[in-house]
Structure 1
Amino acid sequence: MSTDDEQRIAATYDDFGRRWARGTSPLYEDWAIGIGADPEIVALLAELPRPNQQPNIVFAAARWAGIALRPYPEVRDEIVARWGEIVDIAASRTVQTNEPNRCATLLPALSRIEGPIALLEVGTAAGLCLYPDRYSVEYTTPAGRRRFDPSSGPSDVVLACTVDDEASVPVRHPDIVWRRGIDLAPIDAADPDAIAWLTTLVWPGPDHDVRVARLRAAAAIVAADPPDIVRGDLLDLLPEVAASAPAEATLVVFHSAVLLYLDAGERRRFADLVTSLDRPVVWLSNETMGTLPEIDAQVPMDAATDHRFVQTIDGVAVALAGQHGAVYETLPFR
């Protein structure tokens, strides 16, 4: 008979496959559902520390170890045979999905904030989302396609996003005069091994293949002008780092898919912390449903939230943003 922990892990993998990977990464859907129904693998997962049980780290570690991108029945025995190597990789690495295309969903808000802007990202990884003003974006709107380039001209990095309202297209690039990040394990965008790991964290599938090339191109931009990323816990460092931002700038604290790695108490601490800083701040958040109850309560019951974050500004829900930046929808909150 399985333990409660094993039942939780099995349900997590099944949900990952059916709700998150389905329709966007067929192979990960197959792997996740297969593992969720595989008592031997689930029992092995139950022996790991909880952060190392999650599908993203296990799948990336398996790929890093050389497991081929083939259907689950074809790789299952090799996963078992190489389990020790997979566990060691998962223990030495972290999940840091540093997706620059998310900037396409941040720009509608950032472009309307009075500048100059001091940009502070918590959970910044390599800092690829600290440079929204350096990327071009092709927005697909109900009225057609709109290209949005930096003031310096077209970028080597071209993001893509579909919006449900023409008014969501940014009016201008934000005037960013200061940018810093906080991360438990900062990534050097100039480190080939670190960037290779980030690309391994990108899910396989036709919807994601373009993300690898875009990530590498964004890393090159960041490596040429690296940001200051402070190593440490966001709950410990946020007040200190925020205080270092220039007083004449509007401080924007932002994050995407970070709070889900905190427990409920830590999420509440962060929300209280960011809203009580000793200076005015704009809090821009992209997080999944279930992160904070007061945010969940603002989302219409019929809203399609699969593969989407709820974007909030100062705790007010304003849009649904694709988890990898592909869509931006404001109509549910009109």
Structure 2
Amino acid sequence: MTTAEAYVEFATREAYGVSPAYERLSQAVAVDEELLALLDTLPPAKRQPNLLFGVVRWLGGPVDDPRAFHDYALAHWPAVQAQIRRRATQTNEAGRCAVLLPVLAALPQPLALLEVGASAGLCLYPDRYAYRYGDQRVGSGEPLIECAASGLVPPARVPQVVWRAGLDLNPLDVTNPDDVSWLDALIWPEHEHRRARLRAAASIAAADPPLLVRGDLVDDLPALAARAPADATLVVFHTSVLYQVPAPRRDAFVRLVGGLPGHWIANEAPDVLRHDALPDPPGGALHNVLALDGKPLAWTRGHGQAMTWFA
């Protein structure tokens, strides 16, 4: 897929109906020969829309007008490309816990959670957040995470978590203002509810920090998994992470995680982690597949805003 095609796909499958600003920007970049030429000087993994848009937002540039965005990006390209090379799309969306919760609550309790690609670890607190699935509320406190769920009986209670740890090539610290500002920049422009959720989740994590380890998802996963308490159910999980991992390394991770004790929850795009005989997704928007131990269970939206259970 060319860089231009990637931006068209982002506009039509991810931003459409979710972020008008990013839909306009993606369509504009897809036909912007000057900007495409600059993007193509970067490694393929660094050309993605979320990373470019997040960096320009973090630097204080405009993302609400395609022409102003073009002018800013070209005029400040040395700074833009430096930050693109330095940073990664480490969106840490606590809302994703809403689609993980039905699986987590059904596993033998208590749980030892280990997130691969944990960013700042905000998805390691599914027991501390509150949820609303239609008319049913689960848990208490803030943030309150809403999820449009179909084909699913929501869990009656949140899981019991006794250990939480994360593995990331570049773990972020919710007590570091620079790290938090980057997480904020990765939130799409119109999503003020997600900014409020980030602040509430970051407050919870800062008060009781998880164990975050800098490391590789293959080389360093077994040692971290071995630190989980033996009397808890180990759950290794990840959401929208493996697309950033080269295919051979991804295959090695799948072989490794399948051999660990406990359970494995994957929430990834179907072209990244393939499953046989999936039903059609609900609509043309990009969906992830939620799977437990390799068995697909549901279609989910990327920020946890909706899920369609089919298992």
Shorter chain as denominator, the TM-score bin is over 0.9
Quote the Cα distance in structure 1 between the aligned partners of 2:119 and 2:281: 34
Per-residue deviation at 1:11?
0.9
- Secondary structure of 1:310's aligned partner: strand
Tell me which amino acid in the other structure corresponds to 2:243: L
User: Could you tell me which residue of structure 1 aligns to residue 143 of structure 2?
Assistant: 157
- What does 1:211-290 correspond to in 2, within 5 Å? 211-277=194-260, 280-290=261-271
Q: 2:34 aligns with which of 40, 44, 53?
A: 40
User: Could you tell me which residue of structure 2 aligns to residue 3 of structure 1?
Assistant: none
Quote the Cα distance in structure 2 between the aligned partners of 1:57 and 1:80: 16
Identity of aligned residues (%): 43
RMSD: 1.4
C-alpha contact 1:9 1:53 (8 A) present in aligned 2: yes
User: Could you tell me which residue of structure 1 aligns to residue 158 of structure 2?
Assistant: 173
Q: 2:136 aligns with which of 146, 152, 156?
A: 146
Tell me which amino acid in the other structure corresponds to 1:190: T
Tell me which amino acid in the other structure corresponds to 2:38: L
Q: 2:113 aligns with which of 98, 113, 119?
A: 119
C-alpha contact 1:112 1:171 (8 A) present in aligned 2: no
For residues 61-111 of structure 1, the C-alpha deviation after alignment (integer angstroms, 9 at most, x for no partner) is 111222123220233222211111111121222210100011111110100
Quote the Cα distance in structure 1 between the aligned partners of 2:280 and 2:308: 15
Per-residue deviation at 1:321?
1.4
- Secondary structure of 2:263's aligned partner: strand
C-alpha contact 1:235 1:269 (8 A) present in aligned 2: yes
User: Could you tell me which residue of structure 2 aligns to residue 10 of structure 1?
Assistant: 4
Tell me which amino acid in the other structure corresponds to 1:171: A
- Secondary structure of 2:289's aligned partner: strand
Tell me which amino acid in the other structure corresponds to 1:228: L
Q: Higher Cα Rg: structure 1 or 2?
A: 1
C-alpha contact 2:56 2:63 (8 A) present in aligned 1: no
- Secondary structure of 1:328's aligned partner: strand
Deviates more, 1:243-252 or 1:118-127: 243-252
Structure 1 residue runs of 5 or longer lacking an equivalent are 1-6
Quote the Cα distance in structure 2 between the aligned partners of 1:250 and 1:286: 19
For residues 169-218 of structure 1, the C-alpha deviation after alignment (integer angstroms, 9 at most, x for no partner) is 1122211111111001111111122111101001112xx22101101110
User: Are 1:186 and 2:165 counterparts?
Assistant: no
User: Could you tell me which residue of structure 2 aligns to residue 4 of structure 1?
Assistant: none
Structure 2 residue runs of 5 or longer lacking an equivalent are none
C-alpha contact 1:138 1:160 (8 A) present in aligned 2: yes
User: Could you tell me which residue of structure 1 aligns to residue 59 of structure 2?
Assistant: 65
Tell me which amino acid in the other structure corresponds to 1:18: T
C-alpha contact 2:166 2:211 (8 A) present in aligned 1: yes
For residues 16-65 of structure 1, the C-alpha deviation after alignment (integer angstroms, 9 at most, x for no partner) is 11211111111111111111111111111111122221111111111122
For residues 110-137 of structure 1, the C-alpha deviation after alignment (integer angstroms, 9 at most, x for no partner) is 0010111111100001100000000011
C-alpha contact 2:301 2:307 (8 A) present in aligned 1: yes
Quote the Cα distance in structure 2 between the aligned partners of 1:274 and 1:32: 35
Tell me which amino acid in the other structure corresponds to 1:16: F
